[in-house]
Amino acid sequence: MHSQLLNKRLHNKSKKSELSFLNAPEQTFKDYENVFKDSILPKTVVMNPICEKSQCESISSSDGRLSYKGKKFCHAYQFSALEKFGKDQLEAVPSNKTKESLTISHICGTRNCVNQDHLVLEPKTVNDERAHCHFSLKNAFKSKKEIGLKLFRESQACPHSPRCGDC
């Protein structure tokens, strides 16, 4: 176990190998869950034309981060991922990622989206590849609107599962 800890890369600022908010005391999670669900809601719907089934959601914070007792706690999408995947699965997401590292990925292409249906856990390489699909989908919509999105989807250009924009 000690050798595993030595092999983990540490984050430049926090000097932690895992998402730092996962180390918070259990009471903080209980308190924060109430704050997140009661005080920050309602979430704002973000219009994202590349999503067919459901829209992106964000919180009111301009940087997408949640604070607890005046201190930045985590990104709101990380807390949504915690609710969706659980602490055990999120502990596999390192704070300092390599190409092989697991990451929280947005199939919608909206970085601070907190809609749990838009979040998946996958390797960083796949997450990075999604940027090309999101760029292509957004340009298809920009140039041809819904017809452009339909043509992109019919072309089977997205190799990912779930497919980009399939949200």
Which stretches within 9-123 are classed as H helix?
Answer: 26-34, 76-85, 87-90
pTM: 0.83
The pLDDT profile of the chain, 167 residues, written as one tens digit per residue, is 333 433 455 555 555 556 778 888 887 777 777 766 655 555 788 889 999 899 999 888 888 888 777 778 788 899 899 989 998 999 999 988 888 899 999 999 998 999 999 999 999 999 999 999 999 999 999 999 999 999 999 999 999 999 999 99
Instruction: Tell me how far CA of residue 76 lies from CA of 15, 31, 73, in angstroms.
Output: 21, 15, 9
Place of tokens 């709101």: 76
Place of tokens 């992106």: 56
Give, for 122, the enclosing helix (H) or strand (E): strand 119-123
